[in-house]
Amino acid sequence: MNVSAGTPRTARFGILAMAAFLIALAFQFHTTNVGFAGPMAQRLWELRFKPDWERSALLQGGDVAGFVTFLRQQVPEDGKLILPPNFPLRPFAHVGYMQYYLFPRDIQNCGRDEVEACVRRIGGAKTFIMALPDFPPRALAEKTLRFIPYKDGMGVFAPR
């Protein structure tokens, strides 16, 4: 018996193969949409109503948005925030990076070799020091400022 491309048996196989392909495609689309694309699209859609600094902080991941929001609440717009030295390189110690999130506050940082002198000369009713787990030296900062905790050793030292 000669089976050519036009026989019903071959046509049934082609229809079954196409149906299997379409089922697999529908399953893959559903899995991708429910597990990744759908939630991501929803999250991105909700971002359009947030201010630009908050959108950027949320897209950074981690707890950048939470800490930046905390700093914005604690440091007044006409205040000054002192950052740790930018060595080793880290985002929260970069003046330009933090200025974007905290504008119009005055953002400065201590030099790498002058941390203790920098902390000692901090003064003024609107001068704050960003607190990270390794900055500033706690005993020195607590002599003149009060610590307002955020979490995990992070926070801000504020005027008393």
Residues contacting residue 122 through CB under 8 Å, at least 6 positions apart: 82, 129, 141, 144, 145
Asked if the model's pLDDT at residue 88 lies above 50, the reply is yes
Sign of CA dihedral 50, 56, 57, 59: positive
Q: How far is CA 133 from the centre of its chain?
A: 18
Contact status, residue 81 vs residue 75, Cβ threshold 8 Å: yes
The average confidence (pLDDT) of the chain is 88
- Distance CA(69)–CA(63), nearest Å, equals 10
102 CB neighbour count, 10 Å cutoff: 20
Q: Does the pLDDT value for residue 1 go beyond 50? A: no
In sequence order, the 6+-apart residues with CB closer than 8 A to the CB of 43 are none
Residue labelled with tokens 């597990």: 35
Q: Is 136 helix (H, G, I), strand (E, B) or coil?
A: coil
Q: What is the pLDDT of residue 2?
A: 54
Global confidence as pTM: 0.72
Structure tokens at 44: 């991105």
Backbone torsions φ then ψ of 57, nearest 5 degrees = -65, -40
48 pLDDT above the threshold of 90: no
How large is the average pLDDT for residues 58-66? 86
Mean pLDDT for the stretch of residues 42-53:
85
- State percent of the chain over pLDDT 70: 96
pLDDT given for residue 106 in this prediction: 96
Count of positions (residues) in the chain: 160
Q: Output DSSP code: residue 17.
A: H
